[in-house]
Structure 1
């Protein structure tokens, strides 16, 4: 009659936050009566149970067998933890656990209250083990910190020190396939936990996508789950040199795992996409997939260098899809707000391509995760090493159909506003006139009124479904109280005509600005919104600065650049928030270069790019941003560009710029320098808002110059033909 298998106490460690998921996992391996502690589970089980966790746990960090406990005597005032560890190691006969010819290593962990030099304490614990061997058998084992046959795990506590045999050897997150690394990779067991939490196996996807795949961890862990591949199948463990190791039992478990994986490989796998904007990451993913034993599947996996802006048509309709990714947290994007822009852009893409499908996305801040558009989202907080991360998972909300505001606007019924009747009528007429054009062309941002009437000297701009109302400061001859009363009447009329509430209307007073005052922060309210222009999503700020981040009068020029930029190297001088560069990039430009003195606006520029799924890393030279005076930048460089856009301020005396800039005085020098950087067949577009501007005759004599102002002013600005002037400048054609 066979006796019952011997029961022992085992510890299973994990990353903080994984305890409950790990408990569910090992319960599915047939283990019951589990005690859950922070970062650790404790259970009574058999050696087979411990081996099965080593083989099959996707979430655990280590499987430990406590061997010896050394209680602490508190008879002395000052504790010498290192000596306590030595004494505890000496108090046990380690030759019962492993042979002296085996190599070993010690990993020391301490409870938070324990203060000790861990390097010295580890050395003393090692000395205790060696001296125990010498006392018991007269021989000493050797240390091997890189590939020991036996790994001991010691937990130094307040009341006792516990000495454990580490059955896992290396941490179980090391599956043995990660030969090639990228920046900030996620640990394999955390990736598996995220896939488990998002229910990859239950979804049983027909499409699997990681759009920022890094070194391929999510793809490989997904393949392991979908093909029933045990994470411990091809790695080494820490029990081979242990005297209690049951080799036959382990080989049976390993054979069973190999058989299950072979059966799993015969199943239909989803169409798998692994993209990254970094070619080195693409190469790493391919090599790691091969190293994981899935080389035969590489032909079935589409691994490509792609940005978020370059997603293909996944043909995901009526198919089950699963998206999982670990974005780069925006560490190269400048300000933290750039991180949010990345997640906003990713969320919009998920809504467009994978509505009602499952996704799981990692964020380094909960504010990033909060912008993801999921139905009934779930959040899991984990520690990736010392870095806290948040995983947001759930079903993706379908994208809402957004029509231009004017598409649904109809003239409102309202009580006549005494003193503003003529203004209300003019605003209504303008909106009726612009409606057909705005709807047909898909224009979301436009000017509705521009000081059409002398008594209402204001500009009313529509940004999506919000209004930006600018009051031009009245002359000193006008009574301030009278001007204020008239402006308030105008606001009342604006709300009545548009039907928009107070919370959708943002107000500024626009006095004549010079130099750096034009870019001085006016507020800290930070009411920033995303608006659509052509293919581009653009962040606008309706409160903090005099200008919003999007000059509406240059809309037609930006759309023109988008049409002409494909395959060209584009340069944008005085780029502001680089919306022209953004249109060029989305239009297929070979590269974009944006130059502006302001780091604030360049960081805003990067947010716009990231929002649209474009890269902003100088290393790939795809989209570059330079905080510099444009004159100096042109002077110092030599690169040639096929398409250049210059929209300088009328006047500037920025503290970063030595001297002043005057567009009338200085445009000759500016344009000559810029034309030196223009390719022979290239085009330079020059524009400015100085109403009295006259092009220097030397420019007209040396280059082919065509004024195109009328082509670059949209219907919403036709009432004010002098809003800006624009020219197309090229090198003379040679016979």
Structure 2
């Protein structure tokens, strides 16, 4: 076992070896911070700085470090190849130097090996050894107290080595005391402070204001104000691990605390400003509470607003913009954020000329959307997610060419934009004449840009088709970025109104599962009918745009008819039938999600539940049991389904004859069955033409926005002979 020096009882001047942990990537910042405190005997490690100092230096590090996570004092290192070695290594420490037998303790064990297989076991063996040390020496034993113990002991196991330390901070130093536990705050205080220091913010910094356009709970703003006012980050903390330590010098600590209070800058003497905005009410409420608890009311200003529309006061220059924007957890989320990042960069250029912007993000692709070349970036971890903090100097030498004019589209994006403008020009007269507001404007017109783009009022819904394995994944992703970046200008759509999804081959219940939980619903209108669509939460939006002519056909034929809608989805066909004067409608689908959606669509259009019913059932089984008769039937089954709710597996090519025969059995003698499906290789069985009158209306069922894709669906009308 190796013992490590600790201070003597007589004044604490003996050297103390400490390990200060910190967020990865901020080791240099922590070392500079310690040097500024006069603590210069340091050595860098991974996510830590080793410091040799005296008792006063230890207190200063605890009280003043804005970047450190914990201040640890190693007591011993020893081999741990079995549980007995762990026990003996802990027992060999002279615990009477550090604590009294009636003190309370807590053990934090980190790491395992082949002998110590779980941290709870490691903590228990450590506790047993300390207890046995005091029982043998005094007949007493310390008790365990998990919350605020007199002494917190840390055991770190890495391979066959163990390090036993006192946790002098007692709790993570990022907990300054101004933020309520459980409040929304993904960015830890010490990470925020470290990034501010990395950006050059200090109490003597050249910046005249700090602006956070997406401030969340206000962490950047509060930490910057604490730096400018020279308020010690540890001044508000009530609990410290060293207060129960036997060698704690209460008088020295109190003197340092008093001195720290006297060094604070009066708010009236500040010559810097702190401004923040956020669109979320919950975030602003948390920020205001944190500002109040930090004693910074009147110093830090926050407003509930988007940064694009907020009237910031830009009279104090130069400005440092600190921002932690959303990153996007999935590809579609990331794509949807392209516009936000571009707006952020353009906004910074417009308002903070000759200033700087520090941005934290996990997405390199999104960082590239900022029209400024970064000077440097720092790898850090934010909540376990690997991110980079980019430092953007806002000056002519770093602003990308064309950014001030907001040009900057790549040649590929310009090509996509030109095609979109060409398509919209071709469709414009038809759209105005038919009053169509939801339509397809692009469907893989250029094979290398394999997406479908649908417009829903002033929103663009982008679906990426699954690329062949031969296509490089990075190239496909870059092309998708180009498509998304071209849309706002080409289609005159707000950049934030672009939703991106990746469409893969779906089967069974996958087609019904949620891909998001944003509940992004809106109401759209079509031929006098209103529909609820959801652009984000599901792969499909709730309205198949290619069936617009078929729905109009149903509306025209429905007057006085009994209408049956099989595989009804969200019952848009039933709503059109009701609008056309159908006597009754019945909508059948096996999905609980879509039958509930169908009921809401019917209710939205003010049709009575009595005459316009929705049934959740397997359409095959329902047809086999039903004895009802209908005058007009619409059926648009999926290509394939193996849902657990079905008695069997549906394969539309194999099963369509049985399905149509069952439906025709429910059709009145003068009735019509409209049958459609989107299986590209589908062939209608010849035997059906022998039994029924069959008319292929596919070419009539496609509006101009789907003329480019003749295989989007096939459609027939069947009647009894």
**Structure 1 length normalisation: TM-score?**
0.58
Task: Provide the secondary structure at the position in 2 that maps to 1:240.
Answer: helix
- 1:433 counterpart residue number: none
Aligned equivalent of 2:55, options 41, 47, 53? 47
In structure 1, distance between residues paired with 2:211 and 2:345: 14
1:171-223 Cα offsets, whole Å, 9 max, x none, are 11111111154445111110101111111226443332222222221111111
Give yes or no for the alignment of 1:250 onto 2:238. Answer: no
Aligned-residue offset at 1:505: 13
Task: Provide the secondary structure at the position in 2 that maps to 1:312.
Answer: coil
- 1:400 counterpart residue number: 404
CA distance 1:626–1:573, shift in 2 (3 Å): farther
**1:252-291 to 2 correspondence within 5 Å?**
252-261=255-264, 263-291=265-293
- 1:462 counterpart residue number: none
- 2:88 counterpart residue number: 87
Aligned-residue offset at 1:382: 1.2
Aligned-residue offset at 1:101: 2.3
**1:332-411 to 2 correspondence within 5 Å?**
335-396=333-394, 397=399, 399-402=403-406
Task: Provide the secondary structure at the position in 2 that maps to 1:140.
Answer: coil
In structure 1, distance between residues paired with 2:56 and 2:570: 80
Aligned-residue offset at 1:265: 3.4
In structure 2, distance between residues paired with 1:344 and 1:61: 34
- 1:136 counterpart residue number: 137
Task: Provide the secondary structure at the position in 1 that maps to 2:243.
Answer: coil
Aligned equivalent of 2:524, options 561, 567, 572? 572
**1:149-160 to 2 correspondence within 5 Å?**
149-160=150-161
- 1:688 counterpart residue number: none
Task: Provide the secondary structure at the position in 1 that maps to 2:169.
Answer: coil
Task: Provide the secondary structure at the position in 2 that maps to 1:122.
Answer: helix
In structure 2, distance between residues paired with 1:404 and 1:132: 70
Aligned-residue offset at 1:166: 1.4
1:67-126 Cα offsets, whole Å, 9 max, x none, are 233345xxxxxx32x432222122223122111222111112237787521101101101
Aligned-residue offset at 1:150: 0.9
- RMSD of Structure 2 on Structure 1 (CA): 4.7
In structure 1, distance between residues paired with 2:451 and 2:357: 45
In structure 2, distance between residues paired with 1:540 and 1:58: 40
In structure 1, distance between residues paired with 2:22 and 2:162: 20
- 2:197 counterpart residue number: 196
In structure 2, distance between residues paired with 1:358 and 1:291: 29
CA distance 1:136–1:24, shift in 2 (3 Å): same
CA distance 1:112–1:389, shift in 2 (3 Å): farther
In structure 1, distance between residues paired with 2:384 and 2:251: 39
CA distance 1:449–1:384, shift in 2 (3 Å): closer
In structure 1, distance between residues paired with 2:327 and 2:23: 20
1:505-563 Cα offsets, whole Å, 9 max, x none, are 999999xxxxxxx9894975534123326583378899x99xxxxxxxxxxxxxxxxxx
In structure 1, distance between residues paired with 2:76 and 2:499: 64
CA distance 1:220–1:448, shift in 2 (3 Å): closer
Aligned-residue offset at 1:343: 2.6
1:124-161 Cα offsets, whole Å, 9 max, x none, are 10111111111112211121111111111222244543
Q: Is the 8 A contact 1:108 1:154 kept in 2?
A: yes
Q: Where does the alignment leave 5 or more consecutive residues of structure 1 unmatched? A: 73-78, 406-442, 453-467, 473-503, 511-517, 546-568, 576-592, 604-623, 632-645, 680-721, 725-735
Q: Which moved more, 1:368-377 or 1:41-50?
A: 368-377
**1:519-538 to 2 correspondence within 5 Å?**
521=465, 525-526=479-480, 527-528=482-483, 529-530=485-486, 531-532=488-489, 536-537=494-495
Aligned equivalent of 1:239, options 242, 261, 267? 242
**Structure 2 length normalisation: TM-score?**
0.59
Q: Is the 8 A contact 1:220 1:289 kept in 2?
A: yes
- 1:205 counterpart residue number: 207
Task: Provide the secondary structure at the position in 1 that maps to 2:495.
Answer: strand
CA distance 1:148–1:650, shift in 2 (3 Å): same
Q: Which moved more, 1:283-292 or 1:341-350?
A: 341-350
Task: Provide the secondary structure at the position in 1 that maps to 2:260.
Answer: helix
In structure 1, distance between residues paired with 2:359 and 2:221: 14
Aligned-residue offset at 1:332: 9.3
Q: Is the 8 A contact 1:14 1:59 kept in 2?
A: yes
In structure 2, distance between residues paired with 1:360 and 1:661: 48
Q: Where does the alignment leave 5 or more consecutive residues of structure 2 unmatched? A: 1-9, 410-417, 428-440, 453-461, 468-475, 504-520, 554-564, 584-599, 607-702, 706-721
How many residue pairs align between the two structures? 500
